[in-house]
Amino acid sequence: MTVLKTEALTKIYGEGQSKVTALDNANLNVEQGEFAAIVGTSGSGKSTLLHMLGGLDRPTSGKVYVENKDIFSLKDEALTIFRRRKIGFVFQSFNLVPTLNVYENIVFPIQLDGNDVDDKFVSEVIGILGLADMQNRLPNQLSGGQQQRVAIARALAAKPAIVLADEPTGNLDSKTSQDVLSLLKVTGQKFNQTMVMITHNEAIAQMADRIVRIEDGHIIKGGEPND
């Protein structure tokens, strides 16, 4: 089943001589439970694509469907709610709330949405990511790798349709990067979670089920599951 789909997704910044086409008719399909890595050099359009997939920025033209819902048909407030419920984010900067402990950071988006926490599911995620003994620690008491594991747990806790990871190992050393990516893949498989990650690191991209290559705003390979 296709969980994430784009149709002729285009993003243009500026106009006239300063016009920049960051995305040009990008078509992408991602299936349920798939782990796709979007690879491209700096300026290739991969970050712009991820922001569109997550509803963080609106396209100039084209569509993004998450579970068959055209997300940009929603007004801003409705899109914010949809994003919180259906899309999990993992950023390279972790983005943890410094005054909340590990457990509180993980369940914060669920509580923000006014929903009950599925304690059994959250405990399972915490256990798999090796955070069971760290739940009362604050972010500044954790290493970079531990903070990123908390960010992954937070992204999974609300059982989103997709998890989007933006250079999730960008601030980590090579060994910690491998460990974090292994855990990301294991948790994805365990919970049949659909994941899309952008990276410039070819070695890390090889851990994904499929590599999507983007150049100059064009998806040149891997846009379809069998491409």
Number of folded domains that form the chain: 1
Rounded Cα distance, 142 and 108, in Å: 18
226 in a domain, yes or no? no
In a domain, 148, yes or no: yes
Residue 83 lies in a domain: yes
Domain containing residue 43: CATH number: 3.40.50.300
pLDDT digits (tens, 9 = 90+) for 109-155: 999 888 889 999 999 999 999 999 999 999 999 999 999 999 999 99
Buried b (16+ CB within 10 A) or exposed e, 156-176: bbbebbbbbbbbbbebbeeeb
Q: What is the pLDDT of residues 1-41, one digit of tens each?
A: 899 999 999 999 988 888 999 999 999 999 999 999 999 98
Q: Which residue has the tokens 């509580």?
A: 111
Cα(185)–Cα(146) distance, integer angstroms: 16
Residue 118, domain extent: 2-221
Phi, psi angles (nearest 5°) of residue 23: -135, 135
- The answer to the question of residue 58 being in a domain is yes
H/E element, 107 = helix 102-112
pTM score, whole prediction: 0.91
